A and B are shown apart, each in its own frame.
Chain A
Amino acid sequence: MEKILVCVDGSKLSHAVCDYGISISKKLDLPLILLNVVEHSHTTKKVDLSGSIGFGSKEDLLDELVDEEMNESKQLIAKGKSILKQMKEYVKSQGLSNCSTLQKHGTLYETLDDLSKDLKIAIIGLTGEDSGDKKIGSHIEELIRTINIPILLVNGEFKQIDSLLMAYDGSDYANKAIKEAKQSPIFTNVKRHIVNVNKDTTISNKLLDTAKALFANANIEVETKSLSGDNVEEIIKYQDENNLDVIAMGAYSHNRFRTVIFGSFTTQMLLKSKKPLFLFR
């Protein structure tokens, strides 16, 4: 049984994340899981720079660290539990009863990796509770580079998803994604706007026709548009003009090296998009 996973950590996006989860869960009639990850920092706040070790230092140090982490963990668990409880009540109040909660130790990445085979989609806030002013939460980059399930990254208030923008480049990868979307769509009854950014409009239009053809007989409304200019800018502009609700795209290439040198299209989109991003593999 496939499930919809919603990750909540008490940050201000948690409610919006939950709303998207509720909406998708209702549409697909799949159970919703609220996940809270108890992430251990494995660092210490107490700093003892005395630099001396004596009788039983190892044992004392171990005891100290265990105590400190135990308190930290207990607090995190209690906090997570209260968030989960609050969110579950909220989900019930929205009329969705098929909802369970889950609390796990570890990192978000590990947890999602373990759960991934049962998941239809994971919904995560783009910024976490501890990310402060940073635009992208600390876990997100690692996560989308490695996880193999579709992820919806929420970066603002909830809005009903009625339209979806998809960037298409004609790669096997993109074709596979469309086929996947056709067979078991996560967004049903949603109009697809497929765009391709290319100076040469003939090539661009040809690609878009292929994409359109792929969606044939799928009972999905499709509109295509050829754009020219900077990839990221143009896509965001088009999305803005047409007031589209979600941007769908293939996620990071697995190669970190390339990303470091050339910068990543995905990162750029993450930084600039005002709407949720739907990432798939």
Chain B
Amino acid sequence: MVKSYFKKDEWFGNVKNDALAGMVVALALIPEAIAFSIIAGVDPKVGLYASFCIAVVIAFVGGRPGMISAATGAMALVMVTLVKDYGLQYLLAATLLTGVFQIIAGYLRLGRFMSFVPRAVVVGFVNALAILIFMAQLPELTNVTWHVYALTTVGLGIIYLFPYVPKIGSMLPSPLVTIVVLTIFVYFMGIDVRTVGDMGQLPDTLPVFLLPNIPLNIETLMIILPYSASLAVVGLLESLMTSTIVDDLTDTTSDNNKECKGQGIANIASGLMGGMAGCAMIGQSVINIKSGGRKRLSTLLAGIYLLLMVVFLSDVINIIPMAALVAVMIMVSIGTFDWGSIKKLKSLPLSTNLVMLTTVVVTIYTHNLAHGVFSGVLLASLFFANKISHFMYSETSYNEDNTVKTYKFIGQVFFNSADKFYKTFDFKEVVDKVVIDLTRAHFWDISAVYSLDKAVIKLRREGTDVEIIGQNEASSTVIDRFGIHDKPEEIEKVMGGH
């Protein structure tokens, strides 16, 4: 329906604040886009075009008003080897394919699987991201003269101290002040340090539509496919995690599946305009909310301001010293990191901390946030299974003449507790009959069913009659589908292996 694509309030509910916040965000986006282009190994204009396209397109099609999307470090890290081995054109093609994957993910409603990502993994993701952004600045800080260190330190000083200046401190974005001050200083003092202009080409025109110049064959597809898949997953993970952060900050909700599709459309637009793939950005979104931005207008204006500034001020941007950008990026890294999680390490259970740290370590080792998240989710699931397996115990009782023994099982029987279930039975004991009471047990999977079968077979072999009572509904469906203990011909098959 048309109306779902245009809600007046989502656009114009907060015009004045959105206009200002958009400006602050655009100013912060410029150094980020340039820095991430450098990480990916492409000209700064690729990141700047991407940031413009993604910010503008997502304003219309995103599922989370007020969230900022653009070229990001997480995505840039995934594409490094693609750019190095095959060049920019393949990156553009991979960006298009990434968009296609994300749109498909949106239609398949994969957003709901975010519920499998535990809080500890989200924290790990955020921290890993912050560390990666910081590490990406290190090449700019190694093998350089002392001037660079001095400039970076002064830059960070301005960023964090300028907001304390009365009145103008909360009116002028301190990253902008840093860039302006350092640029003027370096330019007029004639200090020989690297500037943005040394890093590659800046945009001199508005972006133009172009199809990637690559051979359209299976070979190309096989080159870009793994990158696109990774980019799609990383992009959606960071976008959906950022949207929960924005949800929390603004006490509103977002539409995850619409966001997935929106990210896809934005990436396709970016790829067609000569930009790299991007996604939502945690740091920028926090800056937007902090500056008062709430609605779609803030995102749209951020993109438009960005483009105007870049195209018309490219001469000025050329002479910005890299040290200024590094200072801004260190700020983004510090602001993205979840410092509270360090304090909480002491009070949280070990398993939670291990999940968080695993996510961080794997991400930093592989430079791919998707790998980190998968490891974290896997580990968290195993811990969970382990915890649940403790929720199973049995009570035994006998009839008056000790000829009938009843095992009453309580709790969850599944792959991780199936062994414990089997070992509960005392096979050495001689009784006429064993009653297995499952009234309060739940059978989850075939491992559970298999261990019940095994126990029943063993008991029968020892000359004991077995009766199973009180299977609750769920248990009986699993047992009916997979169980073999009451089908003699099936029993033979299982026993054949013993």
Contact = CB atoms under 8 A, between A and B. Distances in A.
A254 B3 CA distance: 9
B332 interface: yes
A51 B14 CA distance: 18
A57 B286 contact: yes
Given A44-B292, A51-B175, A52-B287, 8 more contacts: A47-B291, A51-B25, A51-B287, A52-B160, A52-B173, A56-B339, A61-B289, A138-B9
Q: Return the 8 tightest CB-CB contacts between A and B, nearest first.
A: A53-B335, A51-B173, A50-B163, A256-B3, A257-B2, A47-B292, A51-B24, A52-B174
Contacts of A46: 292
B286 A61 contact: yes
B3 A51 contact: no
Interface in A89-123: none
B3 A49 contact: no
B28 to A, nearest CB: 6
B411 to A, nearest CB: 39
A58 B284 CA distance: 11
A48 to B, nearest CB: 5
A43 B290 contact: no
Contact of A62 (B6, B9, B169, B249): B249
Nearest to A107: B9
A53 B334 contact: yes
A42 interface: yes
Contact of B14 (A40, A43, A145): A43
Contact of A256 (B2, B248, B289, B335): B2
Chain B, interface size: which category? 35 or more
B349 to A, nearest CB: 21
Contact of B28 (A40, A51, A55, A255): A51
A54 B286 contact: no
Nearest to B165: A50
Nearest to A57: B335
Contact of B162 (A50, A56, A145): A50
A58 B287 contact: no
Given A43-B17, A48-B170, A255-B2, A53 B287 contact: yes
B463 interface: no
Interface of A: 40, 42-44, 46-59, 61-62, 65, 69, 138, 145, 254-257
Which of A44, A49, A61, A69 has most B Cβ within 10 Å?
A: A49
A52 B6 contact: no
A56 B126 CA distance: 13
Nearest to B7: A142
A141 to B, nearest CB: 8
Interface string B242-263: 0001001111100000000000
B176 interface: yes
B334 A49 contact: no
Contact of B17 (A40, A47, A255): A47
A48 B293 CA distance: 10
Nearest to B24: A51
Contacts of B245: 58
Interface string B165-179: 000011111111000
Interface string B7-34: 0010001100100110111011000000
Contacts of A145: 3
A65 B17 contact: no
A255 B171 CA distance: 43
Contacts of B332: 53
Nearest to B334: A54
B274 interface: no
Given A53-B331, A256-B3, A47 B20 contact: yes
Which of B25, B176, B335 has most A Cβ within 10 Å?
A: B335
Nearest to A60: B290
A257 to B, nearest CB: 4
A110 to B, nearest CB: 11
A107 B379 CA distance: 41
Nearest to A257: B2
A114 to B, nearest CB: 16
A254 B160 CA distance: 51
A55 B169 CA distance: 18
B442 interface: no
Contacts of A55: 334, 339
12 contacts: A47-B17, A50-B162, A51-B24, A51-B175, A52-B287, A52-B335, A54-B335, A55-B339, A58-B286, A59-B340, A254-B1, A256-B6
